[in-house]
Structure 1
Amino acid sequence: MTDTPAALREAHHADVSGGWLRPAVFGAMDGLVTNIALIAGVGGGGVSPRAVVLTGTAGLVAGAISMGLGEYTSVRSANEQVAAEVAKERRELQRHPDAEARELAEAWAARGLPYDLARQVADALRHNPEEALRVHVREELGVDPDDQPSPWTAALSSFVFFSIGALVPLLTYLVGFTSLWLALAAGGAGLFVAGAVVARFTNRPWWTSGLRQLVLGALAAGATYLIGTLIGVQGGLG
């Protein structure tokens, strides 16, 4: 079966429908950057290691809940919008079948298919209303009505991976070390590894993807560290 064309084999492409990978990547990166920046900010302000742990833990819990709820709401809302548009297209197919068939044929003809053949196929689809609906939705909306991401999958992925990412810069404090720079180094290593792992799904060089995430996280940490040193405990907030 090695000569079977790739187009005929199942699962030869990655899942790009946005089910779990996007919220997982977004959650992990957000968790890393958020807590690295928080720890850099309060650490730069001169607070105690206990206060750093408290801040980082609060950031982890609050951020993970926020990310999970946000992903659920956004994906659920997007799916509901698609469902509303699908219902609208269904009504149009029932009320104006000829106009919809002509519209579909014209879209195919614009891509190079002979108009007569395109119209013949579009008319044939009218005998299978559900398939006609799927084709019209794909052509007009650019989405597959039968392959929408799960809001629960997105929420859980975001929640879990944000928590994992946010935990990384806290680990050194949790095991007994009190050095801010060691925590930031651990967070930086986490960013690089996360970026390198993402490269596996995108076919980008792992080291460029890792360095990109490391630089972005370093910029965020640098900004909050500077703010912390300017208005932190030593500046009179403690």
Structure 2
Amino acid sequence: MSETAATGATEEGYTPHIGESRQYWRDIILGVNDGLVSMFLLVVGVVGGGLASGEVLLTAVAGAIAGAVSMAAGEYLATKSQDEVLEAELELERIHIRDFRDVELGQLREMFADMGVVEDDLDGVVAAFDRSDLALLNAMKSLEFGVVESERRSPYLAMAFSGGLFLVGSVPSVLPFAFIDNPGTALALATVLAMAGLFLVGVTKANVIQSSRVKAGMENLVIAGIGGVIAWFVGDVIGNTLLG
């Protein structure tokens, strides 16, 4: 439930949290940024190596598809594995609550004390959670494992965001080579489009976290620019070495 829905209204000047999409911003930014940066570096490298536009296009399309599949599969397996580890830990925690309740209550007391709950209130707070196995499990899940249900990610959504947005991020670097025969001209256009995309991603992130748009956009541009220079020289060296 969103914060606004929970309160029924938003007071003037009160800024609500991002909401239910928050846990997927990692996948969103990683997917589109990786597509923009890695495909830009790939086309820079192969153009630097002396390939023609058609060859660059074939290489870039293959790279985009392979990258998207790899991102999607990797994110699905990583997220699913993390969930499976967590579920195993929670099952063990249920056993601890059933068989070693005093130990768990002692841990809960220590964690609340570390959070700043005053000594006089600790017994009452711990006793409140002791009345319900579910309440105690949820408290331990949040405090001991750092897990909140609303922050858990669906493997399927994580997969879709990572793989799908990788493909979207690949488009600016791939598209010019489909229409322009001169690889240098196509690369120039790809550079403009990729840099614009990277800056836009930075601005979008800044809008979400309410930080400097220019700083976030330039951060993306600088990272990609440095990578582009390295990729060009690597491609040039390999091209001259292998192809003469």
- Measure, in 2, the Cα distance between the counterparts of 1:175 and 1:146: 45
User: For the residues of structure 1 that align with 2:149 and 2:213, how far apart are their CA atoms?
Assistant: 34
* Equivalent residue number for residue 8 of structure 1: 7
Report the CA distance shift for 1:5/1:191 in structure 2 as closer, same or farther (over 3 A): closer
Per-residue CA distance 1:4-44 (angstroms, 9 max, x = gap): 99983589311477642211110100001111000000001
Whether 1:197 aligns to 2:196 is no
Return closer, same or farther for 1:143/1:116 CA change in 2, 3 Å cut-off: same
Which of residues 235, 239, 243 is equivalent to 1:237?
Answer: 243
CA 1:107–1:20 in structure 2 vs 1: closer, same or farther (change >3 Å)?
Answer: closer
| Alignment equivalent of 1:41, drawn from 39, 42, 45 | 45
Distance 1:145 1:187 in 2: 36
**Matched residues in 2 for 1:115 and 1:127: separation?**
20
Name the aligned partner's letter for residue 60 of structure 1. A
Unaligned runs of 5+ in 2: 11-15
Match of 2:143 in 1: 139
The structural deviation recorded for 1:132 is 1.2
Q: Using a 3 Å threshold, how does the CA distance of structure 1 residues 19 and 153 change in structure 2: closer, same or farther? A: farther
**How many residue pairs get matched?**
234
Question: 1:212 corresponds to which letter in structure 2?
Answer: E
Superposed counterparts of 1:98-177, under 5 Å = 98-145=102-149, 147-176=151-180
Deviation larger for 179-188 or 85-94 = 179-188
For residues 177 and 230 of structure 2, what CA distance do their matches in structure 1 show? 22
What displacement does 1:218 show? 0.9
What corresponds to 1:65 in structure 2? 69
Instruction: Tell me the CA shift for residue 146 of structure 1.
Output: 6.1
Distance 1:226 1:73 in 2: 35
More displaced, 142-151 or 158-167? 142-151
Deviates more, 1:6-15 or 1:82-91: 6-15
The sequence identity of aligned pairs, in percent, is: 31
Partner residue in 1 for 2:215: 208
Equivalent position of 1:54 in the other structure: 58
| One-letter amino acid of the counterpart of residue 43, structure 1 | V
What's the offset of the Cα at 1:135?
Answer: 0.6
How much does 1:104 deviate?
1.1
Deviation at 1:173, TM superposition (A): 1.9
CA distance in 1, matches of 2:149, 2:216: 33
The answer on whether the counterparts of 1:23 and 1:158 sit within 8 Å (CA) in structure 2 is yes
Aligned residue among 75, 81, 84 for 1:77: 81
CA–CA separation in structure 2 for the residues paired with 1:10 and 1:66: 43
RMSD of equivalent CA atoms: 2.4
- Given the two structures, how large is their TM-score scaled by the length of structure 1? 0.89
TM-score of the aligned structures, taking structure 2 as reference length:
0.87
1:17–1:149 contact (8 Å) kept in structure 2: no
Q: 1:196 offset after TM fit, Å? A: 1.3
